[in-house]
Chains A and B, each alone.
Chain A
Amino acid sequence: MNAIIVSGLLGVIMMFSGIVLKNRSAITNLAAIGLLLLLIANILGTYGICTISINTHNMLRFEKFGMFFNSIAFAATLLYVLLSGRDLERTGVNTGEYYALIFFVLCGVSILSSFNGLLMLFLGIEILSIPLYILTGADKRNLRSNEASLKYFLMGSFSTGIMLMGITLIYGATGYFDLGHSPVVPSTGEQRATFLEVAGILLLFASMCFKVSAAPFHFWTPDVYDGAPSVFTSFMATVVKASGFIAFVRLFDRHGNELGPGPTWSLLLGFVIIATLLVGNITAVFQQSVKRMLAYSSIAQAGFMLFALYGNNDLAKEGILLYSVAYCLATIGIFAILIRMNDYTFDGFNGLAKTQPVLAITNTVFLLSLAGIPLTAGFFAKYYMLASAVKAGASLWLVIVAVIFAAVSVYYYFRVIQAMYFKDGDPATAPIGTGFKAMLILMAALIILFGIFPSMVLGAFYF
């Protein structure tokens, strides 16, 4: 409860901060302090210390899993603001409003991590998406940003329409705005969904796939991520995407077998996972722009995160939390470096190791973590995902295909490392301060720390 209220209030405060504070960096500092407060309020809320408690009539359910994810999302946003706050100020003149929208997105994140029932799921998704449409078009004079914004908006509201139709059909069939209320067959005593409910669940599944950019509903992702201002792409690709997965996992937690008897659900998911991995990895190989490559790589990472849905057990829940941490840290770091580069192509990174050794070494750690190399957090994240699927009885072929695609991903991540270390060039970068370097080193250190002791994240989860 704390997280939802505090993030909403902070959003309103940030909206008015532009009137009081004329200095842009003061607004960034205010946002960082606000995020710290939000994080503390959420941690207090996790241990039952609530400032305000409201009877939500069972529409929200606060449990450890969601609350802990809130902490991860808020901490990642705090790191993001500390790293890229200066670049965010340069996007346009409305710095206070950008932060206000980010806080409203975080309000959506905390609703998505605690919804109980489809009404709150719908509201959470919308509170999350609508500010993002605006942030995508934040660069008002840039045609690419305009285009990305319109595309994101039209696709997003289209998928909302599909989701609402799914919710309505489920309601019509069962009388509840929730999964798991299928009518009981008198002869066998087991629950069996009617045709109307199966159609509804499929529509809901499709629209959730759309929100987390899983194939075959991924087509908007590269264009939107590429066109949006890089600062906001960084936020969209990390915190927002991870929270989409938390909502997905919580929604289909224990449900899904209602689709039909036998392996229907795992067959459907298996198809989506393989399609997502295939599209994301193979297309990423052919990209010339690092930003666009990262957009496709985020589709590929979504394929791995879908294994949490496949596994649907305790291991999967631990895994998706670990994956969120590893993926958010690494992607925020890479984007922070990318924003400072003048040239977004692979060639733009040529010779970075000579001119900016700290950027090069930390970028290498982030890329290795995304590729899932041992000793980085990304390795254990991928390991937990695959282990949960195996534990849930996944076909060995599915796991082998996933590992092969992880190997493919090494190719395009290493192209950046190769450009930085083994090619000559004089990469032009924006001025880079000591604080920025220190933050990058801190994040790289965290990635290695969680790579050696993944139990630190999971220990905090069970504490």
Chain B
Amino acid sequence: MKEKNKAQSRRKFIQNGMRASLLLSLGVVSASALRRVTTDDYVWQIDPFKCAQCGRCATECVMSPSAVKCVHAYDLCGYCDLCGGYLKPDANARSTAAENQLCPTAAIERRFIEEPYFEYHIVEDLCIGCAKCVAGCTSFGNGSLHLQIMHHICVNCNECSIARVCPSDAISRVPASQAYRVKGSWTIRHRLKDK
């Protein structure tokens, strides 16, 4: 009887130990998760208002093709037929033929909506971040095409190779919770902050 109590006590001890270990593990995992959620890590991002469209994002990023892609703020776009971001200057025709497109990889799709509007859509897989379209849109349009570092591609180098060579210091670390500086809603916040 005494031996049986001793055995039960050992089993109970092991059970309690297991329970405590599981509880502790759960606590550690929960704490880690909580820490991950509450700690604001930093990621690299481009300020589209500082970007000088120099083209180095395409050539200096450690990823190939670059983790920098063009994004389109549809709410700013003029939906023009003659789009400075889509067509080469003095293009032969306002058409989708390759010789008229400014983008070297044909990463911009152009769709006729209704007279006189055309919609432009970026094919991210084709975009190399060369900023040719951004320069055209900024010089001749509303500046709705702009560059952003895509975080599902970016490896978040400790020393971002394009940030090091950016001539306009447009690339900086931003909180991971606000990882993108997309024109439009961010523009409004940005301007309000400036005021």
Please say whether chains A and B are actual partners in one complex. Answer: no
B interface vs A, CB < 8 Å?
A: none
